[in-house]
């Protein structure tokens, strides 16, 4: 495991959030349902409603931790993002009163771009994919000296994401048997897998078939570039798994599963129509895995789904 990322560091970061930042960063609800309520043959399904987080996604945890852990120059902070990491960075920068520049690719949704502008970020829309926006961001950072916040591949960002798992255990007064986690660049699953590294909880990686960064890396034995064109690409659009996530998932994540865009969209609509949970496609992969049978839990299993974001155009939910 990366020596700078540990369960104790996640715990201390959560304590820092609790001590001074709960007016900004929420302890999001944990919603428990019998498996039968979702048509799944398992004991319980827990929904960690992280789409209710500040900035509309789990990213607020890592971005706030990154900014709190480093000196911020007068030029402020800078980030490349499909949208959610940028929104989270902009929200944290606004809280701390520092400038923020965000680079997003053209596939970033209009809803996410509107959020960024509303938060006062300087927005640059460039490139057709996250990787191209990142290149432009890195070039700009060399000129300005702003603090770079990476969407998924920095230790502070991974530690921040891991606080979700710490909250789950506290709220449930127990650990789940399994946690189903969406993967793009891998910051979320790296944090959650770190927390559960020495426990009986299984952490399951889920990706769209059309954005298989971790799955392809496992097949190749090393991180490789992939083509990205999924319905969830604006959130899971990294074309290569992050270095930190690759190292951690190699040790602590045994299953890497793929979902079709059709299954993802069906699960997204189901969450809204049956539970009134507005989730972007990237946040629906856990339910898609259960409904499609790609992941089949045991009858006595308690399965946790991380509903990781809700920065979406609500027209996509239908009626």
- The CATH number of the domain holding residue 110 is 3.40.50.1100
Span of 9-18, 135-144, 223-232, 268-277 with lowest mean pLDDT: 223-232
pTM: 0.93
Residues 77 and 33 in one domain: no
Show which of 127, 149, 171 is a domain's final residue: 149
In this model, does residue 318 exceed pLDDT 70? no
Q: What is the mean pLDDT of residues 189-203?
A: 97
By DSSP bridging, strand 44-48 and strand 30-34 are antiparallel
| Residue % of the chain over a pLDDT of 70 | 94
Query: Average per-residue pLDDT in the chain?
Result: 92
- Asked if residue 157 belongs to a domain, the reply is no
Find out whether 65 and 91 touch, Cβ atoms under 8 Å.
Answer: no
**pLDDT (0 to 100) of residue 82:** 82
**pLDDT (0 to 100) of residue 87:** 93
Residues 74 and 219 in one domain: no
By DSSP bridging, strand 178-182 and strand 202-208 are parallel
**pLDDT (0 to 100) of residue 315:** 66
**pLDDT (0 to 100) of residue 3:** 46
Show which of 119, 149, 179 is a domain's final residue: 149
In this model, does residue 1 exceed pLDDT 50? no
C-alpha 81/C-alpha 64 separation (Å) is: 15
Inter-axis angle of helices 7-20 and 187-195, nearest 10: 100
141-183 pLDDT, tens digit per residue, is 999 999 999 989 999 999 999 999 999 999 999 999 999 999 9
The parent domain of residue 102 ranges over 59-149
Residues 186 and 295 in one domain: yes
DSSP state of 281: G
Residues 33 and 104 in one domain: no
Nearest Cα residue to 166 out of 13, 311, 3: 13
**pLDDT (0 to 100) of residue 235:** 58
Residues 193 and 294 in one domain: yes
76-111 pLDDT, tens digit per residue, is 999 998 888 999 999 999 999 999 999 999 988 888
Residues 235 and 184 in one domain: yes
**For the CA atoms of 76, 81, 87, 88, what is the dihedral angle to 10 degrees?**
-70
Show which of 149, 178, 206 is a domain's final residue: 149
Residues 235 and 295 in one domain: yes
DSSP state of 199: S
| Residue % of the chain over a pLDDT of 90 | 82
In this model, does residue 24 exceed pLDDT 70? yes
Domain count, the chain: 2
In this model, does residue 277 exceed pLDDT 90? yes
Residues 116 and 34 in one domain: no
Residues 111 and 129 in one domain: yes
Q: What is the mean pLDDT of residues 31-35?
A: 97
């Amino acid at each position: 495991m990366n020596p700078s990322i540990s369960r104790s560091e996640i715990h201390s970061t959560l304590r820092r959030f609790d001590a001074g930042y709960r007016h900004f960063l929420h302890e999001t609800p944990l919603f428990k349902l019998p498996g039968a309520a979702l048509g799944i043959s398992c004991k319980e399904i827990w929904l960690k409603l992280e789409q209710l987080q500040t900035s509309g996604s789990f990213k607020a945890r890592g971005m706030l931790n990154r900014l709190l852990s480093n000196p911020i120059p007068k030029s402020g902070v800078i980030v490349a993002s499909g949208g959610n990491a940028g929104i989270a960075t902009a929200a944290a920068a606004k809280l701390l009163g520092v400038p923020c520049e965000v680079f997003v690719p053209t596939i970033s949704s209009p809803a996410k771009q509107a959020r960024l502008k509303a938060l006062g970020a300087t927005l640059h829309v460039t490139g057709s994919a996250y990787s191209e926006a990142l290149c432009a961001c890195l070039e700009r950072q060399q000129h300005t000296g702003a603090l770079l916040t990476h969407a998924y591949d920095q230790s502070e960002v991974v530690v921040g994401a891991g606080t979700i798992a710490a909250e789950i255990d506290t709220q449930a007064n127990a650990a789940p048997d399994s946690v189903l986690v969406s993967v793009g660049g891998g910051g979320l699953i790296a944090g959650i897998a770190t927390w559960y590294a020495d426990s009986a909880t299984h952490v399951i990686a889920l990706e769209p078939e059309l954005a298989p960064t971790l799955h392809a890396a496992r097949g190749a034995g090393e991180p490789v570039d992939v083509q990205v064109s999924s319905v969830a690409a604006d959130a899971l659009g990294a074309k290569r798994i992050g270095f930190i996530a690759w190292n951690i998932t190699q040790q602590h994540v045994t299953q890497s599963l793929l979902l079709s865009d059709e299954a993802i969209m069906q699960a997204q609509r189901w969450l809204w129509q049956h539970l009134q949970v507005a989730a972007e496609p990237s946040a629906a992969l856990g339910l898609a895995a259960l409904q499609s049978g790609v992941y089949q839990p045991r009858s006595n299993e308690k399965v946790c789904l991380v509903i990781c974001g809700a920065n979406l155009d609500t027209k996509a939910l239908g009626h």
